Structure 1
Amino acid sequence: MHEYSGLSVLIIDPSQHMRSGLHNMLGQLGITRIEHGVSAATAIRHLEKKAFDLVLCEYDLGTEQGQDGQQLLDDLRHHQLVLPSTIFIMLTTEGVYSKVVSAAELTPTDYILKPFTVEVLAQRIARAVDRRTALLPVHRAMEQGRMREAILASEIAGAANPRYATECARLRAEAHTALGEVTQAESLYREILAIRPLGWAQLGLARCQYQRGAYVQALETLRALVDDNPKFMAAYDLMAQTQQALGQDAEARAALESAVAISPHMVRRLRHLGQVALDGGDIEAAEKSFRQVVAKSKYSEFRDPEDHVNLVRTLVQKGDAAGVANVLRDLERSVRSSPASDACKAYSAAMLQELNGNMEAAHTELANAVRAAGEAKALSSGFKLGLAQNCLQHGMDELGMELLDGLAGDPGSGVSESDLTQVYKRAGRGELAQNEGASVERYLDSLVRQAAARSGQGDQRGAIQVLQAAVRRRPENAGLISALASAMLRLMIDSGWESALGEQCTALLVRIRKADPQHPMLAALSSQYVTLRGKQ
């Protein structure tokens, strides 16, 4: 019993009786560092303040909570409020367990079926602590972003603890994915699936296929997964993304609607469904989804003011000025002030003023929105693209291009040059796209100069990172690709062969050969690569 005395525990249960019972059981095991969460919201506030070793969470949090224990776990992991090393045990009934155990991608450490005794609780905690101890070096390395160490640690842990070999393989695949080594991750998932048909491994395989652009293969994998397990919710989300990538927007919407019918509380999924419906021109369906998102977010500590903006955009297309005014009042009332929320309020107000024909007031609010967006850190690229388009449509070119230049200069924005061009076209300002192209070229030139400076200072890895950002902006540019390959080869000539870097360099040389077989640097780079590889 004594070895558990150092554990810190958070109990999440709306029932005072259950919380007291669990508290007493933990006390009998020598555990005294215990805190209580009576709801998802209070649990989140506890976890925002500090980490716990063990979380005991009731699955049925009550209808007033707006979500169940699994959805809370998904939120906590999505927002990184529980560490990979945290023990998360779900408390539930046998009937619920049989429905949820195979359907979740992000599974708890364990389930305990009610009613249970203190002896059962002790056994499950002991099992979880043993697993945590075995995997702790892997989790710690991943938590600190040291993925190479995590891969090695997972190999050691799997060999030393064969009972956790599959879990170690999963962590290894996740580490490879984080490093961008999709091929290695895919191989691991296939090895796991050759032993056992695990849903999370099928999903991992599909994610790898999606990331390398094999959308048809990814869709086949996901369909097989859903056929085997119709309640594996994350499969529907990736299926919709894949179908959108294939231009199958109607099928993507159907996939999301199927998922929402099974699990109606997941806000991120409802948000995605609303956007797909809006893009498809179904205003009524979009309004329904976005209203659900706004309503359900009231139960969440992760309220996003952009959800109100999405609903406003939908109501504007309906011409419902009264509805927009109501949503704007709710936004002002329910979301505390911040640069992000101020940007959302101003953008919504601008759309309302435009709908009412008050163009001068609309221009003032758009300027307010751009100013607030410049100070905000939590606004999506989609929000900024929409705001920029509105500015361009109103002739506020300087503000619109300021937003677009910011997105073009941010490697993490996920915005491509074609995305920017589409904004200009949708705004009816196609003539400005040429200026945007010149802006991107200036940005890329600055990245190349920055990479050269880092290389001159001996920071070859830093130079590689900068060039990788440039290649992401212009993936077809053979000159940038060759510069990146050259930087990788120089690093390995100085520091020794690195398998991951070598594989990336191989892929870059293949891309150069496809883009420009007569590229002046191709022969020299290939010769350097062959010589370096031959020394291994």
Structure 2
Amino acid sequence: MAEYSDLSVLIVDPNPGMRGNLHNMLSQSSITKIDYAVSSGTAIRQLTKKPFDIILCEYDLGNGSGEANGQDGQQLLEDLRLHKLISPWTIFIMLTSEGEYGKVIGAAELTPTDYVLKPFTVDALLQRIRRAVDRRTVFLPIYQLVEYGDVRKAIADAKVAEEKNPRYAVDFARLRAELLFSLDELGEAEMVYQWILMTRPVAWAHLGLARCRFGLQKYIEAQETLSQLLEQNPRYMAAYDLLARTHEALGQQEAAKRILEDAVAISPHMVRRLRHLGEVAFETGDVGVAEKAFKQVVAKAKYSEFRDPEDHVKLVKTLVKKGDAHQVSGVIRDMERSLRAGPNVDVCKAIAAGLLQEMSGNMTAAATELTNAVNAVAGSRGLSTGLKIGLVHSCLGVKLDQQASDLMLNLMNDTESGVSMDDAVQVFEKAGRHDLAQGMGEQIKIQVDELIAHASEQRLHGDLRAAVDTLNAGLRKAPGNMSLLPAATSAILKQLDDLGWEAPLAEQCMFLIERMRRLDPAHPSLEALTAQYHHTQRKYGISAVA
């Protein structure tokens, strides 16, 4: 196997004897570029420095005491995939005993490239490596196109590869469906999964089909697909997660909680699922389940390199709702003792301290802590929109109206937050603060007027494309604003008329006209904009579609 001499391997195993055995086995196949990690943490630190072709990972990464004192190999793999520390073509082989195999393979969601059952011979290991490397060689050109950002060509080449490589036809079809899904072309991806299921009724294709249907808001169909999948594969854990989300989308919070509780009973160590269970339980008022879930999240995350201080805040909110000030104080002490200092941690500690002070009736001290939290948000990075909206509500609770308004305005203007102008107003309306909602509305009107004025200036200077871009950016934040809609439609029509017909832009223009018609059928600009659209069609000889 001299052709494998350029391969680099990371061995992840706490047992020095096993690391030595694996090194000897790899050496027999001329693989000499070998590094070691004794835990999930050291593996992650190694992988942040350089990539590896192959990762050989022991499933049980504990210290042999039998205690759950660290991540297992499956949890490590999930962290690596979630945080994109390994590429899609990295070969990840799990090494596991026969006693653990049923548990691992049954609960696996982000499946490794392969499993090797212990004890194994040199030939058995090298055969698995050979098979994985050969498969990677076939798929590598597609993966590289994705890495370079040419997803369209990757999809086209995957289709060609399906026909050229019948042995891997279903695998190429799966990759094609996943790439279509990544481009939000859910209908196309759904058809590919349906074709796969006609060829081979595999569980992951049922899950892919359900994901497409969920994305297309076909929630009942997604629910039926997932229920059937779990009847046949009761340990297919990713199906539980999506089924819970489907119940949530249908407003069935209690059902979502039950599904997540069932999943946690089967596979109790997944931090993301425990977090989701805690959130749903908190929302349904089940403080006991929420407390238990968030405590497990905080405890298990201690062994991850990707600890999230927001988990402590969620636990604090649950304990505040329970009325347990003593435990809240303990969580805050744990935050101070165990979390690395940084802007995100500063925000979360201040929020937690503010909640404790408010619970204790110290409103002045609570206001001071929450003001510190709002000030620290400016230097933070990656905090969730949910945490920030929770901070807005906390500020309102201690009469920090200006801080709440400023934070909401910043959220609305943050393109990554997903908070629209309408959402910002609704936060205050739902909190019973119509006065602040009105103030937010006035701020929004000022911003919209400034956007429209800026776009008008761009049009006057002949920069029609820039004007359209400016107004489209505004529409992403306020899709139903009846000042932006006619301005954006008019700007698009001007570009089409002066610079030539572009089918996607024309399609967007008609979409905006129809949105205006739906929101305000009597809008004074509607008739003129529709007439202008048809005039431009005729100018370029475009047939109007009936």
TM-score if structure 1 supplies the norm length? Answer: 0.88
2:337 is aligned to 333
Q: Do 2:464 and 2:495's aligned partners in 1 also have CA atoms closer than 8 Å?
A: no
In structure 1, the partner of 2:318 is: 314
Preserved contact between residue 40 and residue 65 of structure 1 (Cα < 8 Å): no
Which residue in the other structure is 1:20 paired with? 20
Equivalent position amino acid for 1:7 in 2: L
**Which is higher, the Rg of structure 1 or of structure 2?**
2
- Give the Cα separation in 2 of the matches to 1:164 and 1:446: 56
Question: 1:343-375: CA deviations, max 9, x gaps?
Answer: 001111111122222222211111111111111
Give the Cα separation in 2 of the matches to 1:343 and 1:171: 40
Q: What is the Cα deviation at residue 173 of structure 1?
A: 2.2
Deviation at 1:228, TM superposition (A): 1.8
Q: Distance in 2 between matches of 1:392 and 1:272?
A: 26
Task: Provide the residue aligned with 1:228 in structure 2.
Answer: 232
User: Would the alpha carbon gap of residues 202 and 510 (structure 1) be closer, same or farther in structure 2, given more than 3 Å must change?
Assistant: farther
Q: Residue type matched to 1:73 in 2?
A: L
Distance 1:131 1:215 in 2: 36
- Shift in CA distance, 429/124, structure 1 to aligned 2, threshold 3 Å: same
User: Cα offset for 1:527?
Assistant: 8.2
Of 71, 74, 84, which aligns to 1:80? 84
Report the alpha carbon displacement of residue 274 of structure 1 after superposing the two structures with TM.
0.9
Identity %: 52
Q: Which residue of 1 aligns with 2:385?
A: 381
Report the Cα distance in structure 1 between the residues aligned to 2:184 and 2:87, rounded to whole angstroms: 22
The answer to whether the aligner puts 1:130 opposite 2:121 as a matched pair is no
Q: Which amino acid aligns with 1:119?
A: D
RMSD: 3.4
**Pair 42,396 (structure 1): closer, same or farther in 2 beyond 3 Å:** same
Describe the SS at the equivalent of 1:411. coil
Alignment-derived partner of residue 287 in structure 2: 283
State the distance in 2 between where 1:282 and 1:29 align: 56
* Contact kept? 1:207, 1:238, Cα under 8 Å: yes
The Cα shift of 1:386 comes to 0.6
1:209/1:217 contact within 8 Å kept: yes
Distance 1:354 1:478, change over 3 A: closer
Match of 1:49 in 2: 49
Unaligned runs of 5+ in 2: none
Secondary structure of the corresponding residue to residue 416 of structure 2 = helix
Deviations 1:139-188 (A, max 9, x none): 22323433223323323433433322222222222222222222222222
Written as runs of structure 1 = structure 2, the 5 A alignment for 1:31-430 is 31-62=31-62, 63-101=67-105, 103-417=107-421, 419-430=423-434
Q: Note closer, same or farther for the CA distance 1:174–1:475 as it changes in structure 2 (3 Å cut).
A: farther
TM-score (norm 2): 0.87
Query: Aligned-pair distance for 1:406?
Result: 1.6
Displacement after TM superposition at 1:215 (Å): 1.6
Report the CA distance between 1:80 and its aligned residue.
Answer: 1.0
Cα deviation for residue 474 of structure 1 reads 3.6
Q: CA offset at residue 65 of structure 1?
A: 4.2
Deviation string 1:367-417 (CA, Å, 9 cap, x unpaired) is 111111111112110110011111122221221112111211123212345
Deviating more after overlay: 339-348 vs 418-427: 418-427
After superposition, the Cα gap between the structure-2 partners of 1:335 and 1:99, relative to the gap in structure 1 and judged at 3 Å, is closer
Aligned AA (1:355):
M
Per the alignment, residue 3 of structure 1 pairs with 3
Change (3 A) 1:246 1:333: same
**SS in structure 1 opposite 2:378?**
helix
Counterpart CA distance in 1 for 2:301 and 2:428 is: 33
SS class of match (1:80): coil
Q: Decide whether the 8 Å contact of 1:393 with 1:428 is kept in 2.
A: no
Query: What amino acid is aligned across from residue 327 of structure 2 in structure 1?
Result: G
Change (3 A) 1:289 1:99: closer
Query: Structure 1: where are the runs of 5+ without partners?
Result: none
Counterpart of 1:105 in 2: which secondary structure? coil
Paired amino acid for 1:9: V
Bigger mean CA deviation after superposition, 124-133 or 23-32: 124-133
Mark the CA change 1:184 to 1:496 in structure 2 (over 3 Å): closer, same or farther.
farther
Matched-pair contact (CA < 8 Å) for 1:236–1:259: yes
Matched-pair contact (CA < 8 Å) for 1:370–1:403: yes
Q: Deviations over 1:512-534 (max 9, x none)?
A: 67657784445665787897988
Letter in 2 for 1:13: D
Using a 3 Å threshold, how does the CA distance of structure 1 residues 18 and 417 change in structure 2: closer, same or farther? Answer: same
Going from structure 1 to structure 2, the CA distance change for 1:61 and 1:368 (only over 3 Å counts) comes to: same
